[in-house]
Chain A
């Protein structure tokens, strides 16, 4: 290893990345500033990059808005239940498929990988979920998304590299394979499991597509659907009794509430990313 002083090149590279970082954060910052400004200071400025006075008034409105809060609750429930179910399925599948020498393993793995490239497409999928009678149930938001093959393969690759000796000594203690998975393998695989759980949680939290296809009752809409109706389709959901200017601010406060849970969790899981978790994923 060679140790060098910080050269001019280092400064240029760091400066460029600092600029890039600010540029990437700018849109998020912009939304935050609009949502935190008082109505008066919002009206005074045409570029909202620094709040003159900070106010939580819009957030009080958001948290007092029944429709937005109900959709927030739906999203929380779907995300928690969905992530738990996805992890159960993916860990069971990934762990079992990591067992070299199991008859049929190669075949099953190939069947999994095929689905990463081929699918029946939207129409057969849409008809299938409807024919299963899942529309207008929360199951339609969870069951079809239960396994992501990419995530399953990452888990499988991790379990392949899990030290066999630990499992063997547990077997001598009289554990069966399920007990070994639950008591030995899972507790020692927290970094990978936390990472994959985050990927699933983001998928559930950010989903609007399943609900658009299969949910027709307002009361069961997740937050992303309500945000979409409010901002992209510009249909007034729960915006009654607001004047034009504060609607912009209200929308941006909803955007912040809609993205905050994932942005808040991710930095805690981020330290696990670099540990080569992803690298095995593309080798299959």
Chain B
């Protein structure tokens, strides 16, 4: 029925009133194309023998050569395994803590005290990982650290921590909790605040005590937020932690602490293996996407909730 020309004209007509918005969007769109979609296109170098002097267009394609090399790279698989293990720790140990904190923060009735606690537990989030790692080093270092001082006072033997592969993942988990667990309560606290007060009143009338209210009202109230956050966390967990690991690790703890991102970083800056590192990054993205889809599918099946 419709004439294509009229349709075009009507699109123009529909866009007309928004011309100022399109104008404002121009720099934003250009930025996204260059800085977000440009690197996605740049991933083709994972299939090339990329030479800086030749550029993306001039370098030769080598197919899956780098991926084949990766398969036999013992250090890559060590980093791969470490990334997965640390990710599992982050999901199982670190993720639930803000949920619990938010549930119990909600039970504090003294408003000023609650505010004070929130201010304090958000604080470490604003500290950089460079500084957080500096503080961890200051506390744990042998001879001068706080822990060493405590051990000396009680005549205990000071354990080796910073250069001990067995202790490194625990240091990661504890410092992650210290820095981010408080901040991550914010989304749950906001969700709890949006629960209708009348629900609590109804539960109270039904004879629910405060634990009953927490269990039957607050927890179901934040359920979908928790699920969404869990899916997002699972989808991004393999790409988080670079700043933390990079500032805390050293060559002695590579066997348990080196993750894919730090491995890639060293391959680029120290060894200049650009195509190879890009291939490692692509492999990580594929696994990460797989985890995201898996988490989302599992959640949609089990709880009818998902993010897409």
Which residues of A pack against B, CB within 8 Å?
1-2, 4, 6, 9-10, 13-14, 16-18, 20-21, 24-25, 27-28, 30-31, 34, 45-49, 89, 92-93, 95-97, 99, 102-104, 108, 111-112, 115, 117-128, 131-132, 143-144, 146-147, 176-178, 181, 202, 205-209, 213, 224, 227-228, 231-232, 248, 251-252, 255, 258-259, 262-263, 266-267, 270, 273-274, 276-279, 281-282
Of B113, B135, B136, B232, the most chain A CB neighbours within 10 A belong to B135
Any A CB within 8 A of the CB of B6:
no
15 interchain pairs, CB-CB under 8 A = A14-B113, A21-B120, A27-B178, A48-B149, A96-B21, A99-B18, A99-B21, A115-B32, A117-B292, A120-B43, A123-B45, A125-B39, A128-B35, A208-B130, A224-B128
Complex Cα distance A99/B105, Å? Answer: 37
Q: How far is the CB of B231 from chain A (nearest CB, A)?
A: 10
Given A89-B27, A102-B18: A121 and B43 interface contact (C-beta under 8 Å): yes
Given A108-B29, A119-B40, A176-B20: A14 and B108 interface contact (C-beta under 8 Å): yes
Residues 129-156 of B contacting A (Cβ, < 8 Å): 129-131, 133-139, 144, 146, 148-150, 152-153
Q: Are A1 and B261 in contact (CB under 8 A)?
A: no
Complex Cα distance A139/B29, Å? Answer: 19
Interface residue from B34, B107, B126, B264 paired with A128 (Cβ < 8 Å): B34
Q: How far is the CB of A224 from chain B (nearest CB, A)?
A: 5
Residues 265-290 of B contacting A (Cβ, < 8 Å): 265, 268-269, 274-275, 277-278, 281-282, 284-285, 289
Q: Are B104 and A248 in contact (CB under 8 A)?
A: no
Which partner residue on chain B sits nearest A92 by CB separation?
Answer: B24
Q: Are A123 and B228 in contact (CB under 8 A)?
A: no
Complex Cα distance A208/B40, Å? Answer: 23
Any A CB within 8 A of the CB of B123:
yes
Which partner residue on chain B sits nearest A181 by CB separation?
Answer: B24
Complex Cα distance A146/B11, Å? Answer: 31
Which residues of B pack against A, CB within 8 Å?
11, 14-15, 18, 20-25, 27-29, 31-32, 34-43, 45, 50, 52, 55, 104-105, 107-110, 113, 116-124, 126-131, 133-139, 144, 146, 148-150, 152-153, 178, 182, 186-187, 189-191, 193-194, 197, 201, 204, 210, 225, 228-229, 232, 235-236, 243, 247, 261, 264-265, 268-269, 274-275, 277-278, 281-282, 284-285, 289, 292
Complex Cα distance A266/B121, Å? Answer: 12
Residues of A within 8 A of B131 (CB): 206, 224, 227, 255, 258-259
Q: Are A128 and B38 in contact (CB under 8 A)?
A: yes
Residues of B within 8 A of A252 (CB): 138
Residues of B within 8 A of A119 (CB): 36, 39-40, 285
Which partner residue on chain A sits nearest B26 by CB separation?
Answer: A92
Complex Cα distance A165/B135, Å? Answer: 51
Residues of B within 8 A of A120 (CB): 36, 38-43, 281
Q: Are A103 and B274 in contact (CB under 8 A)?
A: no
Residues of A within 8 A of B275 (CB): 123
For the complex of A and B, 5 pairs with smallest distance between CB atoms: A120-B39, A124-B42, A121-B281, A206-B128, A177-B20
Main secondary structure of the interface of B (DSSP, over half): helix
Given A102-B21, A262-B127: A25 and B120 interface contact (C-beta under 8 Å): yes
Q: Are A147 and B108 in contact (CB under 8 A)?
A: no
Which partner residue on chain A sits nearest B141 by CB separation?
Answer: A248
Which partner residue on chain A sits nearest B127 by CB separation?
Answer: A259
Residues of A within 8 A of B21 (CB): 95-96, 99, 102, 177
Interface residue from A92, A176, A224, A277 paired with B28 (Cβ < 8 Å): A92
Interface residue from A209, A224, A276 paired with B190 (Cβ < 8 Å): A276
Residues of A within 8 A of B135 (CB): 27-28, 30-31, 255
Complex Cα distance A24/B135, Å? Answer: 12
Q: Are B28 and A93 in contact (CB under 8 A)?
A: yes
Which partner residue on chain B sits nearest A270 by CB separation?
Answer: B119
Residues of A within 8 A of B153 (CB): 46-47
Residues of B within 8 A of A228 (CB): 130, 247
Q: How far is the CB of A209 from chain B (nearest CB, A)?
A: 7
